[in-house]
Amino acid sequence: MNLNSRLAILFGLYFLQGLPYGLQVKFLPLILRNENFSLSLIGFSRLLSLPWLLKAAFAPVVDRCCSLHIWITVCLSGTAVLYAIPAITGAKYTMLLLSCVFGLNVFAAIQDIAVDALAMKLLHLQDLGKL
| Residues 105/20, Cβ–Cβ less than 8 Å | yes
Instruction: Name the CA dihedral angle for 6, 120, 108, 70, rounded to a multiple of 10 degrees.
Output: 80
User: How high is the pLDDT of residue 114?
Assistant: 96
Contacts of 18 (CB under 8 A, 6+ apart): 108
Structure confidence by residue, pLDDT tens digits, 28-73: 999 889 888 899 889 988 899 999 999 999 899 999 998 999 999 9
Distance of alpha carbon 98 from the chain centroid: 14
pTM to 2 decimal places:
0.88
Structure confidence by residue, pLDDT tens digits, 71-83: 999 999 999 999 9
User: What is residue 130's DSSP assignment?
Assistant: P
pLDDT grade for 9, boundaries at 50, 70 and 90: very high
